[in-house]
Amino acid sequence: MDITKISTIPECGSLPGASRGKVVVGAKQLKKAVESGRARCVFLAKNADPALTEPIEVLCAQRNIPITWVPGMAELGRACGIEVGAAAAAVVD
């Protein structure tokens, strides 16, 4: 099963699925959310450091959590409603 897809997120605060739950931003918080089973979908920035994104990608694959790749950190940050870039974000319960 391919759980990876490419997405563009054009608007501030427009992270898909965010209206149904809470958004977690940042690699450390995201890893905790995935490990605890709270993450429903994960968003990773294509231009983020692979040292940050690869372990998350592996963890998501192990737990069958869908990953959406976003073109850039700035775009992902805007989609999360923050003023700085984000390497990773997740919608959680």
pLDDT one digit per residue (tens) for the chain, 93 residues:
445 555 555 444 555 555 555 888 888 889 999 999 999 889 999 999 999 999 999 999 999 999 989 899 888 888 887 778 888 998 888
CA distance 15 to 2: 21
Q: Six-digit token pair at 44? A: 């990773």
- Residue 43's region, left for phi above 0, alpha for psi from -120 to 50, else beta, is beta
**Domain limits for position 18:** 4-92
What pTM value is reported for the model? 0.79
**Looking at the 3D structure of the chain, how many domains does it have?**
1
How does 49-69 read in b/e, with b if 16+ C-beta sit within 10 Å? eeebbeebbebbeeeebbbbb
Q: Six-digit token pair at 4? A: 């990876």
Query: Residue 41: which CATH number?
Result: 3.30.1330.30
